[in-house]
Structure 1
Amino acid sequence: MVKSYLGHKTKRFSFHNGQEQTSYVAIFGDEFELDPAQDNTASQDRDAIYRGRQGKIRSNTIFTNHKELEFYFLDIGQGDAAFITTPNDIKILVDGGLQDKALGFLIWKYRLDQPNNNVVIDHLFLSHSDGDHVDGLIPVLEHPQIQVNNIYHNGIAIYKSGHNEELGTVTNEKLVTLHSSLTDLDNSVLNDNYKVWIDAVKASGANYMRLDASDGFINIGDNSISLEVLGPVLDSDGSLKWFKGKSHTINGHSLIFRIDYNHVRAFFSGDLNIEGSGHILNIPGNQLKVNAHIFKAPHHGSHEFSQDLLNAVNPMVSVISSGEVPDHGHPRAIFLGGLGKAGRGSAPLIFSTELSALFVDAGDPDAVNHSNNTNTTIAGLDFSTSSANREARQRFKKLLPGIINVRTNGEKIYSFRRVQMGYQWESYDQKYTN
Structure 2
Amino acid sequence: MAHVYAGLGDDGRKIFLYAADRKTKVRQVLWGDWLSLDGEEPDGWLRIKWSPNSNPQILYVPKADTVATRPLEIVFLDVGQGDGAVLITPETGDKEGVIVVDAGEGDNMERFLNGRFKAYRGFSFDSAVITHPDSDHYRGFSAIFANPKIGFRRIWHNGLVERAVSGTWAKLGAFVKDPVDKLTYQTELAQTEAEVRAQIPDRKANAKYGYPSMMQAALDNPKVGEIGMLSTEHGQIENGRSYMPGYAPSDARGYTIEVLGPAVERDAAGKARLRRIGGSYGETKNGHSILLRLAYDRFTVFFGGDLNEPAERYLLTRYAGLPAFPAAGSADYRLMVGKVAQRFRSDVMKVCHHGAAKVTDAFLEAVNPACFIISSGDEEGHVHPRPDLLGRLGRAGRGASPVLLSTELQRSTREKADQALIDKVGKAVAQLAAAPSPALAETIKADLAKLSKTNVDVYGAIYLKTDGQRLITAFKIEASSPTDLWFYYEYVFTPGGELVLVT
Q: TM-score, normalised by structure 2?
A: 0.74
Give, in angstroms, the shift of residue 77 of structure 1.
0.2
Matched, 1:199 2:216: yes
Equivalent pair of 1:7/1:61 in contact (CA under 8 Å): no
Q: Distance between the aligned counterparts of 1:134 and 1:96, measured in 2? A: 6
Q: 1:399 to 1:93 in 2, by over 3 A?
A: farther
How far has the Cα of 1:200 moved from its partner? 1.0
Correspondence for 2:79 among 76, 80, 84: 76
Q: Which moved more, 1:174-183 or 1:419-428?
A: 419-428
SS in structure 1 of the partner of residue 111 of structure 2: helix
1:7 pairs with 2:4: no
Aligned-partner Cα distance in 2 for 1:370–1:346: 42
Indicate the residue corresponding to 1:303 in structure 2.
357
Q: Do 1:281 and 1:287's aligned partners in 2 also have CA atoms closer than 8 Å? A: no
- For 2:252 and 2:214, how far apart are their aligned partners in 1? 28
Letter in 1 for 2:89: T
The aligned runs of 1:7-406 (5 Å cut-off) are 7-8=8-9, 9=12, 10-14=14-18, 23-35=26-38, 38=40, 41-43=41-43, 45-52=45-52, 53-88=56-91, 89-110=96-117, 112=118, 118-161=122-165, 165-172=170-177, 173-188=184-199, 192-204=209-221, 205-214=224-233, 215=235, 216-218=242-244, 219-220=246-247, 223-237=253-267, 238-243=272-277, 244-282=279-317, 283-284=319-320, 285-360=339-414, 365-366=448-449, 369=452, 399-406=457-464
Letter in 1 for 2:487: E
Alpha-carbon separation, structure 2, partners of 1:340 and 1:263: 23
Q: How far apart are the structure 1 equivalents of 2:99 and 2:299?
A: 18
Name the aligned partner's letter for residue 155 of structure 2.
Answer: I
Code of the aligned partner of 2:316: L
Is 1:421 aligned to 2:479, yes or no? yes
The percent of aligned pairs where both chains have the same amino acid is 25
Q: State the alpha-carbon separation in 2 of the partners of residues 291 and 251 from structure 1.
A: 21
- Point out where structure 2 has 5 or more consecutive residues left out of the alignment: 178-183, 201-205, 236-241, 321-338, 422-446
Cα 1:402–1:184 shift into 2, 3 Å? same
Cα distance change on mapping 1:419 and 1:166 into 2, 3 Å:
same
C-alpha separation in 2, matches of 1:44 and 1:256:
46
**For the Cα contact (< 8 Å) 1:258–1:265, is it kept in 2?**
yes
The one-character-per-residue Cα deviations of 1:252-283 (angstroms, maximum 9, x if unpaired) are 00011101111000101100111211222221
Equivalent residue letter for 1:6: G
Residue deviations 1:56-114 (CA, integer Å, cap 9, x gap): 2133542111111111110010000001111113111100000110011111212x3x6
Unaligned runs of 5+ in 1: 374-397
Question: Residues 159-187 of structure 1: CA distance to partner in whole angstroms, max 9, x if unpaired?
Answer: 24499533222221111121022321334
How far the C-alpha of 1:2 sits from its partner, in A, is 2.2
Provide closer, same or farther for how the CA distance between residues 230 and 50 of structure 1 changes in structure 2, counting only shifts above 3 A: farther
Inter-partner Cα distance in structure 2 for 1:3 and 1:327: 45
Q: Post-superposition shift, 1:22?
A: 8.5
Corresponding residue of 2:434:
none
CA RMSD of aligned residues (A): 2.5
Q: Measure, in 2, the Cα distance between the counterparts of 1:91 and 1:402.
A: 21
Letter matched to residue 109 of structure 2: A
Structure 1 length-normalised TM: 0.85
Q: Is the 8 A contact 1:3 1:32 kept in 2?
A: yes
Question: Equivalents in 2 of 1:108, 1:32: separation in Å?
Answer: 17
User: Deviation of residue 30 (structure 1)?
Assistant: 1.4
Instruction: Decide which structure has greater helix share.
Output: 2
